[in-house]
């Protein structure tokens, strides 16, 4: 599955040579800052790699609309609500239900740190709080803070540990919180209506999740979890906020700026497998009398982890709008930190004009010239997509590649700079 996806993305990148791509799966590099007090790896809160990695799998499944328990979606889910004229065709599936969206956003564990060094554990930054500078307002141990943990995080931990939010999606995982499971900064400059206060900044942008609610006990049972928030949905939910979504559970249904998320004032019962419909008629104002009840399976509601498994198309559109416009969202995926990169919203002329190859056709060497000095990563792939040459170069305007090992034929040169990514055809004679 993953392998197939990678090759699809590669073929799509090749198509940039001739066409502009407007819809593309975006791969967003994640760095997880795991804060601990010197415990052995695998002893809470120094979470095991398997628990951390499982969260990325949950994010990818949930944002593709294929996450755990998605098969529970009722065959007639919200079909009466969907007949409302305000619901667009794109929000419905073939059964006339409100559709479970594929957001076309995916995530990877970042391969490199901010200096370009390969991370021994991709996407993971372990931090012993004892080694951090003194916090003038209190202890350095996040486990000592309850709901006021946000002050500690925003004023101290995040500014001390954040990686460049133009390149990485920062996630902090710590003990503490006193019942708060997670919180996110909202996207600045998104152009979206209805964005609450609490915008991310250069020193705070990202998501925090309580350590026992990070990762999935389904995927990595050997971790430390707080049931019923043990299936990675806290991070899915907070990442939704980070992309500009608000909660759906309120009434009227339009209060989240998405028409296809039926709201309701129903108090959400705990536990799994709630019966559908739930809370029929509890939201009477807009756009109808909640004929199918509220969308308790939506990630932006308040169900337990096991009972939430969908975003809607309007929510996906809203997230992609933030992704395309917000300063700390729009360049994520363009720095070669994932095995594949995101090209959504990148202008074709920028891609094509940011580097040249000469001579081309080439014989035993060729040179890549970049418009401005920067760190670049170069991959030369053969016609079936296999990487033949890989090279990284820092602060460079020109990079010479020895081609003597390449046999005659057609190749594709994939160049990832700090603010662009592109592919050009190369002929070896």
Question: Tokens 């969202």 belong to which residue?
Answer: 329
Q: Can 397 be counted among the known catalytic residues?
A: no
Cα separation, 50 vs 52, in Å, equals: 5
Cα separation, 221 vs 54, in Å, equals: 10
Closest CA to 209 of 187, 223, 230, 188: 230
- The backbone region for 399, taken as left when phi is positive above 0, alpha when psi lies in -120 to 50, beta otherwise, is beta
Give start and end residues of each alpha helix (H) in 123-183.
149-152, 158-161
Cα separation, 93 vs 79, in Å, equals: 10
Is the Cα torsion angle 207, 211, 212, 216 positive or negative in sign?
positive
Q: Which of 121, 238, 379, 390 is catalytic?
A: 238
Q: Using N-to-C axis directions, what is the helix angle for 233-242 and 49-64, rounded to 10°?
A: 60
DSSP assignment letter at 314: H
Burial (Cβ within 10 Å: 0-12, 13-18, ≥19) of residue 247: middle
Q: In Å, how far are 26, 364, 417, 420 from 360, measured between CA atoms? A: 31, 11, 21, 21
- Residue 384's contacts (CB-CB under 8 Å, 6 or more residues apart) are none
Cα separation, 173 vs 182, in Å, equals: 9
Give start and end residues of each alpha helix (H) in 15-114.
49-64, 79-82
- Is 300 in contact with 246 (CB distance < 8 Å)? yes
Is the Cα torsion angle 122, 127, 131, 137 positive or negative in sign?
positive
Question: Tokens 């305007």 belong to which residue?
Answer: 397
The count of residues in the chain is 429
Q: What residues act catalytically?
A: 238
């Amino acid at each position: 599955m993953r392998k197939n996806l990678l090759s699809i993305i590669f073929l799509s990148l090749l198509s940039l040579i001739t066409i502009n791509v407007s819809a593309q799966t975006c791969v967003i590099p994640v760095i997880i800052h795991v804060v601990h007090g010197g415990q052995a790896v695998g002893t809470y809160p120094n979470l095991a790699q398997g628990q951390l990695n499982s969260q990325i799998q949950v994010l990818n499944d949930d944002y593709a609309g294929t996450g755990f328990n998605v098969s529970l979606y009722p065959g007639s889910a919200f079909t009466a609500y969907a007949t409302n004229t305000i619901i667009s065709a794109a929000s419905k599936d073939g059964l006339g239900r409100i559709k479970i969206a594929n957001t076309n956003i995916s995530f990877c564990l970042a391969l490199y740190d901010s200096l370009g060094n390969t991370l021994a554990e991709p996407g993971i930054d372990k931090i012993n709080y004892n080694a951090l500078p003194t916090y003038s307002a209190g202890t350095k141990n996040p486990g000592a803070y309850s709901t006021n943990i946000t002050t500690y995080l925003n004023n101290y931990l995040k500014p001390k540990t954040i990686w460049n939010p133009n390149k990485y999606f920062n996630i902090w995982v710590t003990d503490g919180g006193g019942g708060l499971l997670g919180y996110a900064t909202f996207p600045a400059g998104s152009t979206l209506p209805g964005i609450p206060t609490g915008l991310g900044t250069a020193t705070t942008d990202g998501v925090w999740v309580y350590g026992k609610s990070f990762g999935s006990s389904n995927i990595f049972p050997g971790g430390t979890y707080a049931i019923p928030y043990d299936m990675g949905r806290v991070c899915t939910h907070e990442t939704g906020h980070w992309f500009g979504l608000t909660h759906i559970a309120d009434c009227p249904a339009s209060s989240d700026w998405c028409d296809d998320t039926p709201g309701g004032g129903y108090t959400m019962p705990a536990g799994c497998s709630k019966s559908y419909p739930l809370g029929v008629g509890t939201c009477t104002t807009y756009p109808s009398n909640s004929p199918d009840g509220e969308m308790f399976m939506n990630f932006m509601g308040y169900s337990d982890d096991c009972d939430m498994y969908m975003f809607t198309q309007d929510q996906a559109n809203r997230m992609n709008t933030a992704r395309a416009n917000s300063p700390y969202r729009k360049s994520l995926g363009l720095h070669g930190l994932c095995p594949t990169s995101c090209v959504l919203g990148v202008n074709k002329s920028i891609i094509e004009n940011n580097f040249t190859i000469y001579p081309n056709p080439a014989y035993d060497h060729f040179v890549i010239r970049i418009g401005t000095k920067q760190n670049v990563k170069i991959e030369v792939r053969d016609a079936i997509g296999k990487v033949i040459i890989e090279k990284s170069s820092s602060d460079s305007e020109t990079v010479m590649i020895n081609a003597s090992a390449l046999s005659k034929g057609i190749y594709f040169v994939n160049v990832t700079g700090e603010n662009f990514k592109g592919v050009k055809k190369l002929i070896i004679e």
